[in-house]
Structure 1
């Protein structure tokens, strides 16, 4: 468990499946993070939580909890962890829309990056972001991610083609520009 004055990151557990299922099937939440926008049965979500988010050696997933209200507001993960080459991909979804744009994603990702670079000793963390998601791009840049390339016109949303931007951060870049939070 990791925390700041604002949030707690708690390891995903089986009982998180119901909450995650609501977020996973909310097209407003997934519009700017999930390429497929498919709807899932509860059994599919439960299986995903248990076999991908919990019992997978190549991922570490955490529920984001608002410390003040003690409610789950989203999820963040390191996925595709490659321990040999010290790389991973990061993802985040703030599932509770009333928490959008209030800095919760920034704090959660900073905690996750601190864990990735300081505890797991990863060399590189990457992510993918849809080109129309300008707020997320600004957040990632603020945290120190750099654009590394793009998959041109690989996402079709609302009748238009969009790029998927690939961003990454190296351990020494994170350490040299580390943001500090009150990690109590």
Structure 2
């Protein structure tokens, strides 16, 4: 998650990434976050932070962060508020030398498993798999890189059929991995 956050900051024009109140020189985190070239070729996760409507409820975003509570997103057959997922790299560009790139979008729905429809930046996501974790259902899909753009990406989720019970998305995560390229 730190790597993904750092890439978003660089994509927004930051010259560097600084951390406070903690320093352990032996951790790779310190040389990764400060080196954009190295960071670009490392595995990273981009996670959903807050919805625009959450920010309107508080004048200061840090108040939301300090509470440790991010409201879940209610999902109906009509859909949900678009969930912004910030991405800090061009996923359509060639991967680093000697590496491949794989993308896995994971969405967690609290409550019983349901059939859902997913759209990312207006494009439908298909071939979605699902599994239960005891607290809800994880939905996973390998989205095409062409659906993503640097910066804000909007994920829309809708129930496949109307139901009397509400469902809630409580986590969205894009896992970007750079495994070694297999010789063909």
Decide: shared fold, TM above 0.5.
no
TM-score by length of 1: 0.35
TM-score by length of 2: 0.35
Q: Which structure ranks higher in relative contact order (CA pairs < 8 Å, sequence separation ≥ 6)?
A: 2
Structure ID, larger Rg: 2
